[in-house]
Amino acid sequence: MVKRKVQTRLEVETGSGAVLGGPRIRLLEAIDKHGSISQAARRIPMSYKAAWDALDDLNNLADFPVIQRSIGGAGGGGTKLTDYGRKLIAMFRAVEGEYEEAMDRLHQHATNTDAADKAAFQQLLRRLALQTSARNQFACTVSRIEEGPVNALVFLALDVDCELQAQITSESVKQLRLAPGREVVALVKAPAVILMNDPKTRTSASNHMTGIVSRIHEGAVSAEVVVELTLPRVRHIAAVVTKQAVRSLELKVGLPATAAFQASSVLLATFA
């Protein structure tokens, strides 16, 4: 195999900001081959939790679900790709070939480029690679904005009959050029999410999302609880709570739970 002149990595962003890169594509390809998330994670390799986190992000941000799960039955259940998931793989691999050829041409041109210009270009690439640490990311559309002298309340359409609220400064509304119909990504850190075991419970938090506990990852002190939301589209939200809270709330996989978080805990990101 001929060694490439320049090593590149392709990442694809949708209009709503979903990032699709090599590791996630390889994960989808392995799921398509083995029909199992655990087996696919071992082939990449990545941890089972990291594989689920990646799939949660894709399902939350993509226009359609990428995987379909079956539980039990004669075949023992499993996971398979949706037609949309296979189309994502085909699209990515096709673009990847064109991208690598373009980067080779860029590298050839750069050999005759001023060193200062190359340094500036490298810095730009590093900035473009910036990623967020927020565990929860939701592709939304701005439905309306209530502006005040200092702060604004931004209402975000997530799904049919599901609307999130974000409280940001009025200056941020201008900087992000927010307006009804604008696509954004809502970011919520997992520690900012509180959990309740009664769907009817309401708090002072602006956002309440109900669903079923799908996974619980326990650590030494804390636990990450992932809730599959009761929405037309498969979406998940993760919360980090203490192990004591898991026990006191009697949170278990398969049981209902409500996730709540303040509008001030929601960060918004837009894409040019």
- Give the residues of the chain that fall short of pLDDT 70: 1-21, 71-77, 98-133, 271-272
Q: Where in the chain is the domain with CATH 1.10.10.10?
A: 11-128
- Confidence (pLDDT) at 160: 82
Question: H helices within the chain, ranges in order?
Answer: 22-34, 37-43, 48-61, 83-110, 115-128, 170-175, 243-248
Q: Where in the chain is the domain with CATH 2.40.50.100?
A: 136-187+265-269, 190-262
| Residue 65: Cβ-neighbour burial (10 angstroms; 0-12, 13-18, 19+) | middle
Q: How far apart are CA 109 and CA 107, in angstroms?
A: 5
- Confidence (pLDDT) at 180: 96
- Assign a CATH topology to domain 136-187+265-269: OB fold (Dihydrolipoamide Acetyltransferase, E2P) (2.40.50)
Contact 178, 167 (CB under 8 A): no
Domain 190-262 has CATH 2.40.50.100: yes
- Assign a CATH topology to domain 11-128: Arc Repressor Mutant, subunit A (1.10.10)
- Confidence (pLDDT) at 15: 44
- Confidence (pLDDT) at 2: 45
Nearest to 25 by CA among 90, 74, 104: 90
**Claim: this prediction has a pTM higher than 0.85:** no
Residues 24-80: tens digit of each pLDDT: 889 999 999 999 999 999 998 999 999 998 888 888 877 788 888 876 555 456 888
- Confidence (pLDDT) at 213: 96
- Confidence (pLDDT) at 28: 92
